[in-house]
Amino acid sequence: MNSTSQNFPRTFYKLTKTWDLKTGNRTSQDAIWTTTSTSKNDPISMIPAIMAFKFGEITDMLGAFTEINGIIVQGDQVWIYNMRKSDVLPKSPADLERIYTFVSSAVRQWFNIDDGDYLIKHIHITASFFVWYFTKPNFFHKDKIMKQTTRNGIQRVWSPFFLEKEPKSTSTNHTTRAIEPKRQPMTTTDAMLPKQLTEQEKIKKNINKIISDSDMNEINWEDSRTLHISISEAIADEERKLSIKQTKKLQNLYNDYTRITNKINETNRKRAKVELANSKIAIEPAIDDELGPPPDEPPKLTRQLAQFEDEECVGCIQNQPNQSAHIGGCLPDPIDDLVEAEDDDVPDSWEDL
């Protein structure tokens, strides 16, 4: 395969100026280029004529692209190479190499031998027309979506057929599940908890002092709802047991108490969550170690056997012929007797019959 062009951007823009003038406002469905006896000596016109005619015959362009390796399909769009932010040209030499590789493969698969050889011979023009054909706005339409506006009337909607950059893989059907690392114990930051508890106790003492000085009922710190009601009644007391200064101080202290208590509760909640998670990590392997591997043989009924050894068989004492009357199966199994009897009755020779 021919090497990529080092001056592909300059070649591309020089060629597209000619093709833009030739095309005008026409689309890929119009017969813009034609082959003549003299056009073979002009690849700038011959190559668009060959490729545009073949592209017009392909009814399922997306399906045709999927037959060529090296692309990614996302919805009704395809990705072949990453584009520059400023235009549709390849972003890096590796992206340019992808264009040349894909175009060469498509030419060999879509075109006959003669046309394919001609296109490969002029691969730089072929690659340029390929990019221009599918990226020129309002030229090649991949669908038949129409829109109507007051100014322009009914028009066909154009949307890019090529994706500008490689999409991130979202399919999980063919991905191998990563091996989960061994779970490590979790930790939580509770270094401020002792300081918060100290501050909470200090606020409690200050509130209790105000309440005790005013001869009000003691406050229940265990129930948050009861605490809120008690503080509200103390602040809005009609008997004016608290001065205005004490009321404001009580209000501020209660706000501080609520703030610090919420922080303590949040820290305790995180600690409980971490402890629960760590306990699961510690318990799971411990259970496996405790159970150990399964036994090679089923356990024997040692308790029942010990009982049979210590006790005298009642069935034997009473000379009972029934097997169920004997402890531990003292009598032989009737089936075993039958087999032994049949074995005894077998003659050694047919002459003894």
Residue 128 in any domain: the answer is yes
Establish if 33 belongs to a structural domain.
yes
d(CA 75, CA 161): 10
Give yes or no: residues 124 and 220 share one domain. no
Tell me how far CA of residue 66 lies from CA of 10, 62, 63, 193, 194, in angstroms.
30, 6, 5, 61, 65
pLDDT tens, per residue, the chain with 353 residues: 456 777 888 999 999 999 998 888 888 888 888 877 666 778 898 999 999 999 988 888 888 898 888 888 888 889 999 999 888 999 999 999 999 999 999 999 999 998 989 999 999 999 999 999 999 998 888 887 888 777 778 877 888 889 889 888 644 344 444 444 556 666 666 677 888 889 888 888 888 888 877 767 777 888 778 888 888 877 777 667 777 888 888 888 888 888 888 888 888 888 888 778 777 776 555 444 555 666 665 555 544 444 444 455 656 656 665 555 555 555 554 444 444 444 445 455 545 44
Beta bridge mates, 90: 83
Does 151 share its domain with 208? no
Residues 149 and 21 in one domain: yes
Residue 345 lies in a domain: no
How many structural domains is the chain composed of? 2
Q: How confident is the model at residue 316, as a pLDDT?
A: 62
Instruction: Give pLDDT, residue 335.
Output: 44
Asked if residue 224 and residue 108 are part of one domain, the reply reads no
Residues 116 and 250 in one domain: no
Q: Say yes or no: 89 and 225 in one domain.
A: no
Same domain, 145 and 260: no
pLDDT of residue 79: 92
Write down which residue in 130, 156, 182 finishes a domain.
Answer: 156
How many residues are present in the chain?
Answer: 353
Regarding whether 123 and 17 lie in a shared domain, the answer is yes
User: What does the pLDDT read at residue 303?
Assistant: 47
Q: What pLDDT was estimated at residue 289? A: 52
**Tokens linked to 168:** 């991130």
Contact 32, 145 (CB under 8 A): no
Asked if the structure places residue 299 within a domain, the reply is no
Q: Phi, psi at residue 78, to the nearest 5°?
A: -130, 150
pLDDT at 74: 86
Kindly state whether residue 15 falls inside one of the protein's structural domains: yes
Return the pLDDT at 306: 46
Instruction: Report the distance separating Cα 78 and Cα 140, nearest Å.
Output: 14
Identify whether 222 is part of a domain. Answer: yes
Last residue of a domain, one of 270, 291, 312: 291
Domain that holds residue 86: 8-156
Instruction: Specify the residue for token string 């087999």.
Output: 339
Q: Is 122 helix (H, G, I), strand (E, B) or coil?
A: coil
Do 270 and 218 share a structural domain? yes
Query: Quick one: which of 120, 108, 126 has its CA closest to 47?
Result: 126
The answer to whether the beta carbons of residues 157 and 145 sit under 8 Å apart is yes
Q: Which residue has the tokens 């063919």?
A: 174
Residue 78, beta-bridge partner list: 73, 162
Tokens of 241: 């047991």
* 34 within domain boundaries: yes
Contact between 257 and 203 under an 8 Å Cβ cutoff? The reply is: yes
Pick from 51, 57, 52, 56: nearest CA to 115: 51
Q: What predicted TM-score, i.e. pTM, was given to this entire model? A: 0.48
Kindly state the tokens that stand for 10.
């300059």
Residues 149 and 204 in one domain: no
Rounded to whole angstroms, the Cα distance separating 134 from 147 reads: 21
Is the same domain home to 152 and 12?
yes
Do 265 and 136 lie in a common domain?
A: no
**What pLDDT, on a 0 to 100 scale, did the predictor assign at position 282?**
62
Q: State residue 70 phi and psi, 5-degree precision.
A: 95, 15
Which one of 137, 156, 175 terminates a domain? 156
Indicate whether 94 belongs to any domain.
yes
Q: What pLDDT score was predicted for residue 1? A: 47
